[in-house]
Amino acid sequence: MADTTDVLMTLIEQHWEDMRHVEEQREAITNMILVIDAATIGFIAQKGFGGSSFLLCLLLVLLGIYGIVATLKLYERHQLHQERLELWYVEVDRMHPNAKLLQVRQDAYRTNSLNFPRIYKVRLHRLWVGFNICIIVAGVVLFFVCIATVVASDKSGSTKPTPTSKPTSTPKPTTPPNHSIATTNRKNSKSPTSKSGR
């Protein structure tokens, strides 16, 4: 019986390590998505909301979807290890009834649910799914902001008044040279002539 107990405890310890590894993977993926999202949003804000930012908004949406799928998959792996642990706990409790292993676990769960009646019902993986949903919503909102910016710029460009040509000033009529000479001769002919024989 001692050998069987040692084997079960080794398996329990191994699955606890696997569950911790799942949590580390979830943490690493979430940090990666958070860093990429922050850099993408900062780049969009620096570059401006326009047609060139459409692909960046799509990247945010894809990262959010990937985060949801990864979170659900890791939660499925976590639950698999948890189910195996529960079965081995039952077996250890059957082999060592005086340890009251299952009763201690149930008492701990009951006490925790009484101390935190509201937050106890919230599943941790749902919080991470909600985080990735917020990333998807941010990508969709920025996408529509870019569309609105492009439409507004197109409307402002189409309604811009065309520059009108300045009115040309009409040149003043100039007196032809022959006319000025004739006027000068006419004035000279009207002037009194000097008396001769003086």
pLDDT given for residue 196 in this prediction? 42
pLDDT given for residue 169 in this prediction? 56
Compute the distance between CA of residue 76 and CA of residue 125 in angstroms, rounded to an integer: 10
pLDDT given for residue 47 in this prediction? 84
Residue whose token pair is 């499925």: 76
Compute the distance between CA of residue 63 and CA of residue 69 in angstroms, rounded to an integer: 10
pLDDT given for residue 6 in this prediction? 87
pLDDT given for residue 186 in this prediction? 54
Give pTM, 2 decimals: 0.72
Q: How many beta carbons lie within 10 A of that of residue 44, not counting itself?
A: 21
Compute the distance between CA of residue 57 and CA of residue 31 in angstroms, rounded to an integer: 19
CB 6 within 8 A of CB 25: no
Compute the distance between CA of residue 91 and CA of residue 8 in angstroms, rounded to an integer: 8
Classify residue 124 as left (phi > 0), alpha (psi -120 to 50) or beta. Answer: alpha
Residue whose token pair is 């590894």: 21
Helices (H) and strands (E) in the chain, counts: 5, 0
pLDDT tens, residue order, the chain (198 aa): 667 888 888 988 998 999 999 999 999 999 999 999 999 999 988 888 887 788 999 999 999 999 999 999 999 999 999 999 999 899 988 888 888 888 998 999 999 999 998 898 888 899 999 999 999 999 999 999 989 888 888 777 666 555 555 555 555 555 555 554 445 555 555 544 444 443
**54-95 vs 2-47: helix axis angle to the nearest 10?**
170
The CA-atom distances, in angstroms, between 90 and each of 55, 97, 118, 175 are 53, 10, 29, 123
